[in-house]
Amino acid sequence: MKNSLVKIFLGVVLVVLTMTACKKSVDGSITDASTRRSFTPTNFGISVTTDSVKFSWTAPLFSINNMTYKVDIATDSLFTDIVYSINADTMNAFATDSVLLLNTPYYSRVSVNPYTILSASHYLVATNANNLPRTFKLLGLQYLKVIRDNEITSNSVLLHWYLNNDTKNVTNLVLTPSDGSSPINVTVTGDEVMNGTKNITGLEPGKKYLLQLFASKRSMGFTNVSTPKTTSFTTIITAGVDSLAAAIAAAADGDIIGLNPGNYWLVSTTPILQKTITIRSVSNNPADTKIISREFDLVGTGAGLNLIGVDVNGNYSGSSLGLAFMQFFGSQATTSVPATFTNVKIDNCIIHDYARCIIRANYGTNANDFKINNISINNSQVSNIDQINAQGYYMFVLDKVQFNSLSITKSTLNGLGSGLISMSTQLAVPTTNPLINIDYCTFNNLGGSTKYLLLDAKANLLNYNLSNCIIANTPISGSLNTAAFRSTGAGNLLTFANNNIFKFASTVGGFDLVLTGLLQSNNINTDLGWQPSTTNFSLSNLSSSNPVLTASSNKGIIGDPRWAY
């Protein structure tokens, strides 16, 4: 009886529609657009979370009991590559990261399934405000903790993840090499699940992997990791036996000097003449390999220096501090003659106790006399540079040097006087704007001498990004310019995003520094209780609701990763 009533209803509907605008296909099924449109869902909406998507729609004009629907998900707007379909008997449907790839754009559409004598309805494609096909993607749950650089070796990586109800079911990890070779599946044991940690070994040096943590088929987090290449030392020296100064003087361009653990002394200024060398600890541990150094001098075209895995102490005499950690000179005879340097790279180092600045490169007679490609500081700690705030130097004095990039990443800078970066001499118009990138750093107790705290670039052209950082307790003493930043070059791209600033003032105890001229977004002001004397910046004891834990551009923790846990 029920089926008969349905057929009668359908018959009436079809007669009404046929009388208005109806034609039949060769096989007799209803094909007229207006007829099928009347059975097509409307108001198709998408709601996305980190690991799932919900589809919802409104019933068609002529809705029938027991009518069912189908949602198609495809990687292209023409739906030639449908990766997943869902049949639903209500007006909503769900899909999760167990069936969809993360960070992949998808298109979606909905239709009414064939029912008795009716064929399937037209498809309704999800569209955006411009009525174009709309994409969605799942970012996935992110329970992996940030990987610290010192937990990566040439053939291994140590992972940590947050312990919660989701991760108690972790089963395995998958590492997908970027070179297209086969993915590697790694089982996680019960003890490792309980501890939230896994040391993955057997990786290849110099390779990039996409690493993903799973609980069965559900993703619990993903990240990219690159293993360093195996180091081939040109020479290895031993403290108390060999002279580091002699090894530097004898080194050829491109040489890598390895330091066995111990203390090495460079009590005179150390010139690096028209060559680029690397000084690297064999252990890659700055805690056991220390250089007491008055000053490194890059001298002449071709000079450059890579320092990796060492502690550099500027207190070379026990009572006197070196003036600058590094200076650029045109030649030994005349410091101001033009020169083109190569690169400066500081990685996994501890640099401390200098009276003036970190890098001074303003000896050129004219603007643009000095040129250098890249200056980078990564995974390092820098402290007590002009902490008495008496010398009045910016930490990076780049006033007469053309550079391509200055990068400060994953580092802690504490107890630095005056301002951070100066490039206030007007330089020639560059072919490509130099980039200053400061990312995932922790700053505390810095500034003074009425300087611009972050940057004084005047009208020079540049691009600038300061993101995912914590900046606290300014100035050390005295006062700063109330503008933390000066850059007036036309067309400069200047961003300040996803940072936490507190006790951020032009005078001690205030909160009045102005970030004029910067494009600002997603910044917070959460006081973490740090004082100027604070040296332990651990965030491991913060409550789970503290916004610092999710303030970064990827919704994770901000600041130098060494303090994350």
With respect to residue 388, please indicate whether it lies within any of the assigned structural domains.
no
Instruction: Determine the pLDDT at residue 367.
Output: 87
With respect to residue 200, please indicate whether it lies within any of the assigned structural domains.
yes
Instruction: Determine the pLDDT at residue 13.
Output: 46
Q: Are 484 and 454 in contact (CB under 8 A)?
A: yes
Residues 111, 93 share a domain: yes
With respect to residue 160, please indicate whether it lies within any of the assigned structural domains.
yes
Cα distance between residue 329 and residue 272, in whole Å: 10
Question: Residue 421: beta bridge partners?
Answer: 396, 455
With respect to residue 328, please indicate whether it lies within any of the assigned structural domains.
no
Residue 534: which domain range? 396-422+431-565
Residues 196, 60 share a domain: no
Cα distance between residue 479 and residue 453, in whole Å: 10
Considering 177, 210, 226, which residue would you say is the last residue of a domain?
Answer: 226
Q: Give residue for tokens 């600045």.
A: 357
Residues 175, 133 share a domain: no
Residues 43, 173 share a domain: no
Instruction: Determine the pLDDT at residue 125.
Output: 95
Residues 54, 89 share a domain: yes
Decide the pairing of beta strands 485-486 and 52-58. unpaired
66: exposed, middle or buried (C-beta count within 10 Å: 0-12, 13-18, 19+)?
exposed
User: How many domains is the chain partitioned into structurally?
Assistant: 3
pLDDT tens per residue, the chain (565 residues)?
Answer: 444 444 444 444 444 444 333 333 332 233 344 445 567 899 999 999 888 999 999 988 777 778 899 999 999 999 999 999 999 999 999 999 889 988 899 999 999 998 776 788 889 999 998 999 999 998 888 899 989 998 999 999 999 999 999 999 999 999 999 999 999 999 999 999 999 999 999 999 999 999 999 999 889 998 999 999 999 999 999 999 999 999 999 999 999 999 999 999 999 999 999 999 999 999 999 999 999 999 999 999 999 999 999 999 999 988 789 999 999 999 998 999 999 999 999 999 999 999 999 999 999 888 889 999 999 999 999 999 998 877 899 999 999 999 999 999 999 999 999 999 999 998 888 888 999 999 999 999 999 999 999 999 999 999 999 999 999 999 999 999 999 999 999 889 999 999 999 999 999 987 889 998 899 999 999 999 999 999 999 999 999 899 999 999 988 899 999 999 8
Buried b (16+ CB within 10 A) or exposed e, 297-317: bbbbebbbbbbbbbbbbbbbe
Residues 211, 76 share a domain: no
What are the helix (H) ranges across 241-398? Answer: 244-250
Cα distance between residue 405 and residue 421, in whole Å: 13
Cα distance between residue 283 and residue 523, in whole Å: 38
Instruction: Determine the pLDDT at residue 36.
Output: 55
Instruction: Determine the pLDDT at residue 33.
Output: 43
- What separation, in Å, do the N-terminal and C-terminal C-alpha atoms of the chain show? 68
**Can you spell out the DSSP letters for 426-488?**
PPPPPSS--EEEEES-EEEEE--TT--SSEE-TT---EEEEES-EEEEE-SSSB--SBSEE--
With respect to residue 60, please indicate whether it lies within any of the assigned structural domains.
yes
Question: Residues 434, 437, 443, 446: what is their CA dihedral angle, to the nearest 10 degrees?
Answer: 10
Question: Residue 297: beta bridge partners?
Answer: 271, 327
With respect to residue 380, please indicate whether it lies within any of the assigned structural domains.
no
Write the CB contacts of 166 (distance below 8 Å, at least 6 apart in sequence): 141, 143, 215, 218, 220
Considering 226, 259, 274, which residue would you say is the last residue of a domain?
Answer: 226
Residues 135, 91 share a domain: yes
Q: Give residue for tokens 């174009």.
A: 132
Give Cα separations from 500 to 381, 455, 515, 540, 558 (angstroms). Answer: 19, 18, 13, 16, 8
Considering 226, 250, 266, which residue would you say is the last residue of a domain?
Answer: 226
Give Cα separations from 430 to 344, 461, 518 (angstroms). Answer: 20, 7, 21
Q: Are 112 and 40 in contact (CB under 8 A)?
A: yes
Query: Apex CA 529: angle with CA 525 and CA 530, to 5°?
Result: 100
Residues 506, 454 share a domain: yes
Residues 105, 41 share a domain: yes
Residues 177, 92 share a domain: no
Residues 459, 404 share a domain: yes
Residues 158, 127 share a domain: no
CATH of the domain at 65: 2.60.40.10
With respect to residue 560, please indicate whether it lies within any of the assigned structural domains.
yes
Structure tokens at 255: 């040489």
Structure tokens at 549: 């834990």
With respect to residue 404, please indicate whether it lies within any of the assigned structural domains.
yes
Instruction: Determine the pLDDT at residue 122.
Output: 87
